[in-house]
Structure 1
Amino acid sequence: MTIQQAAPQAPRSIRLNPNDNVAIVVNSGGLPAGAVLENDLVLIDHVPQAHKVTLQDVPEGGEVVRYGEVIGYALKALPRGSWVNELLLELPTPPELASLPLATKVPADLPPLEGYTFEGYRNADGSVGTRNVLGISTSVHCVAGVVDHAVRIIKERLLPKYPNVDDVVGLNHLYGCGVAINAPEAVVPIRTLQNLAKNPNFGGEILVVGLGCEKLRPETLMPELPSDQAMKNIMSLQDEGFTGFQQMIDRILQMAEERLEQLNRRQRETVPASELVVGLQCGGSDAFSGVTANPALGHAADLIVRAGGTVMFSEVTEVRDAVHLLTPRCIDEETGRAMLREMKWYDDYLAQGRTDRSANPSPGNKKGGLSNIVEKALGSIAKSGNSKISQVLAPGERATKKGLIFAATPASDFVCGTQQLASGMTLQVFTTGRGTPYGLAAAPVIKVATRTDLAKRWHDLMDFDAGPVATGEATIEEVGQQLFELILDVASGRKKPWSDVWGIHNALAVFNPAPVT
């Protein structure tokens, strides 16, 4: 990556790869026509911040190259110094899955990183949480209002009695009834709900509130328990023993308090960084995402893997157009084929909905300089760092290996967060260039700004500024190391992300590709 450095107000640009024929503008507010960049490059147009400028003449139909990869074909001739945006590019075809190399460039293991620890909650099954939370699962959305009412009372009356418990969270969702429960793809939402309840941050204490007539039987959420034991964790509103709403609430409170007493016995203890399970996500991305925040997060991800921990990256549509750079990194051909399986599954899923990958990116992404899904994907996969890919998960599956994992999810922030929780994520790092107040109640979310402009303007929403990479004030490795250390602090409860300070938490959004009846 070549960064032009100059005085603070002087024109600055970033070229990522020597083969690139475009660079992005660094300056806040962009640069006007006539501005002079390095190599006496004179801008023909006004170019907004983070948007691309041609470094050489590009003929009509010619390749536009960023990250050393073709991100599109010029729809008209673009002289040197032209602004390049989404209206001027033809989208390339995606990589042909059948021809991709598998496990041909598996990265060698980097030296182990020893001596790093955090303060976590160790569970009976050996997993470690970063929070101590009472989770109340629901088997159907019909009971969500009742659970929300009960959660408010638990927080007000019961939680103060149990100082070692961080929070109580209702695991509400839109699934459970009015659905084709036996459809093949119903396996996705069902296993997601089953694995959500197993998240290490909930400490193994299971409480399920159901209605009584739903298709998704509450005991289905606890398939590993014998039916008689499972029923001890279930409260059904249609139970004829209840007379009136207040009796229902009283029973939920009683069952909640029994579990709060157990959770209150949990104490943070020093554990090795190998117990981390960190989810990586980006949202409200811009063209700086693949320059600053995502590469720095990729370096932090490599450090976690070197420490023996687990890192999962996701978002199929934001991987699909760069998958040819990932399949060679899979630990073996079987893992590579699993990645191709998830790409193909999602291609078919989009086709059934009569749409394709061009539905991504969003208008905000384009305003932030991302012209199309190819450019977005190339920046998105920078989060994965340089480690080998040890496992591929279908949506809602739980991780069974350590190292770098691809956990297939939609790109939607809310759905991806929910699915990563089901896969066992206990802390998430979320990069953004446009800004978002996104947060999760079940796991801390560290939000990383791609630009210092955003970090300053949203000073009480952004947790970390990766902008110094763009200005040359810090290297990717330096910023990645700082982010790694912040992850350990947040996992230990020593620092609290802004979304938790304000209590800003998004609802769960379980991915349901099966029919709704």
Structure 2
Amino acid sequence: MNIINKEAPLYIKVHEKDNVAIVVNNNGLTAGSVFPCGLVLKEHIPQGHKVALNNIAKGDDILRYGEVIGYALRDIAQGCWIDESLVGLPTAPNLASLPLATAIPPALPALEGYTFEGYRNSDGSVGTRNLLAITTSVHCVAGVVDYVVSIIERQLLPDFPNVDGVVALNHLYGCGVAINAPAAIIPIRTLHNLALNPNFGGEVMVVGLGCEKLQPERLLQGTPDVQPISLDEDDIVRLQDEQHVGFESMVNDILRVAKRHLQRLNQRRRETVPASELVVGMQCGGSDAFSGVTANPAVGFASDLLVRCGATVMFSEVTEVRDAIHLLTPRVIDPQTGRRLLEEMAWYDDYLNSGQTDRSANPSPGNKKGGLANVVEKALGSIAKSGSSAIVEVLSPGQRPTRRGLIYAATPASDFICGTQQMASGITLQVFTTGRGTPYGLAAIPVIKMATRSALAERWHDLMDINAGTIATGEESIEQVGWRLFELILDIASGRKQSWSDRWGIHNALAVFNPAPVT
């Protein structure tokens, strides 16, 4: 391992063809700073932002990751700062002309002997937690369910020490919506599959109001592409039922049903299972220019390790894949899977067009402050989370996988919606990379947060679980950080360690993707 002088001017150039690099040093570098190669900065450049490695004429390509991230809107001199205002957005790859399954990666050597302590379910899935989930059919009941959850936590859970907790699957869907619209398949499928997440042990109970459009029976039936959930009528509580006289009657009825499920969950124990039973979601949020060179490549390495173990890995976020789609379509396992990938990209193109917006609405102000010029640069860094394995399946939002391996699960790029949709697709643990920082967490799923740079990891020392900034300074390799992440995944999945978001109890609300009309 080569430890370098962190105070010396340092940049990262990703590909030999690149004509830009990003500044590594904390607080950036001042004009006159000289890099070891002799490059002299002509102006101050903030950390993570791009420096021109040579003169770039107006209209010329700007290259990072060996790919065109844009074109110069004016002449840019060597040693100058290239901020987002100087980078023109190129055209997105034409979906009709992309190669499919032309460079299928060979299977990586199997990785055997790795295990974790999980909860095996009757359907064959394995959870990383043992939770009671209360499914809701409409947002109207959320306040009542939250009230009951607090009672369960205070009064019931002490009697069920083998249950990790209780979560309310509250959401904003269920009524005041076009329930029969074609796009309603997404939120209905999502809510159906959320109830089946492996961390809930197959114990399903539903609280509804009674007059909502998404009746509990329809939620349980789901959509044509799911298996209906069979429940006893006693597992469904409707607050408008005439048997409920007053608020306390509703509360007591929910507690009665919950107690029955808690009794069964309390009989469960962790057992040693192969790492192949893991279903891990990979996500990024609050990204910066380091995301694609430190944290995301380390996540990609860990993704490959998981796939080598036979596990399932999901990556998502359509808008942050679309501009790098030409690098993914050759990696699909067969042309049919490639066509499914293109279908999801085209569907989202149409979705954005219907809202009279486009991909230029991404990135966020914070992403730009962290050095990302546009969505092209962001996408090229985002897909690094997928590692180097073949993509074996493509899922529409909220669908559950039918295969193991590397899977593309289509979701919006919103952190909260992506997390919710991946959870519906069955992830039991999530890895979340961030450069700007976010306290994001999920109540039902352990979330491991990885910092892209050491300054964030040090400042947010009790929110970031792992630091990938050591890659930028040469203290660790991508492989070393990837192995550390892999081992942490096994520890947290086993309950041996706890993520910071869980230690603090920081959990975001669910955000179900609803592209259908609200009436």
Query: Smaller-chain TM-score range?
Result: over 0.9
Q: Does 1:508 align with 2:506?
A: no
Report the AA paired with residue 501 of structure 1: R
Q: Contact (CA 8 Å) 1:4, 1:38: kept in 2 or not?
A: no
Counterpart for residue 330 of structure 2: 328
- Which amino acid letter does the alignment assign opposite residue 461 of structure 1? L
Aligned twin of 1:128: 126
* Contact residue 4 and residue 13 of structure 1 kept, 8 A: no
CA–CA separation in structure 2 for the residues paired with 1:16 and 1:210? 53
- Can you list the C-alpha shifts for 1:254-303, whole angstroms capped at 9, x where unaligned? 10000000001110000000000000000000000001000000000000
1:115-514, aligned counterparts within 5 Å?
Answer: 115-223=113-221, 224=227, 229-514=231-516
Whether the aligned pair in 1 keeps the contact of 2:2 and 2:475 (CA below 8 Å) is no
Residue 222 (structure 1) shift: 1.9
Q: Aligned match of 2:59 in 53, 58, 61?
A: 61
Moved beyond 6 Å, runs of 4+: none
Asked if 2 retains the 8 angstrom alpha-carbon contact of 1:219 and 1:234, the reply is no
For the residue of structure 2 that corresponds to 1:380, the secondary structure is: helix
| Equivalent in the alignment of 2:77 | 79
SS in 2 for 1:396: coil
SS of 1:39's partner is coil
Letter in 1 for 2:106: A
Cα distance change, pair 46–4 in 1 and its aligned pair in 2 (3 A): farther
Q: CA deviation at 1:400?
A: 1.2
Are positions 1:8 and 2:20 aligned together? no
Which amino acid in structure 2 is aligned with residue 498 of structure 1? W
Q: Summarize deviations over 1:37-81 as a string: whole Å, max 9, x none.
A: 132100011000000001010000111000000001000100110
Residue identity in the other structure for 1:35: S
Q: Secondary structure at the match of 2:37?
A: helix
Residues 5 and 12 in structure 1, CA contact (< 8 A), matched pair in contact too: no
Is the contact between residue 429 and residue 445 of structure 1 (CA under 8 Å) also seen in structure 2?
yes
Q: Aligned pair count? A: 514
CA distance in 2, matches of 1:41, 1:226: 64
SS in 1 for 2:54: coil
Q: Give, as a single letter, the amino acid of the residue that structure 2 aligns with 1:87.
A: S
Give the AA of the match of 1:241: Q
Secondary structure in 2 matching 1:326: helix
Compute the RMSD of aligned alpha carbons.
1.1
Question: How far has the Cα of 1:233 moved from its partner?
Answer: 1.7
Whole-angstrom CA distance in 2 between matches of 1:478 and 1:198: 35
Q: Distance in 1 between matches of 2:303 and 2:82?
A: 32
Rounded Cα–Cα distance in structure 1 between residues aligned with 2:285 and 2:73? 28
Question: How far did residue 7 of structure 1 move?
Answer: 1.8
Tell me how far apart the structure 2 counterparts of residues 233 and 380 of structure 1 sit (CA, whole Å): 42
Matched-pair contact (CA < 8 Å) for 1:280–1:314: yes
CA distance in 1, matches of 2:404, 2:228: 26
Deviations along 1:139-182, whole A, 9 cap, x unmatched?
A: 00000000000000000000111111001000000000000000
Indicate if the aligned counterparts of 1:394 and 1:407 stay in contact, CA closer than 8 A: yes
- Unaligned runs of 5+ residues in structure 2 are 222-226
Q: Percent identity among equivalent residues? A: 69
> Who is 1:31 aligned against?
29
Q: Indicate the larger mover: 506-515 or 469-478.
A: 469-478
Gap runs ≥5 in structure 1: none
Cα shift at 1:226 = 7.6
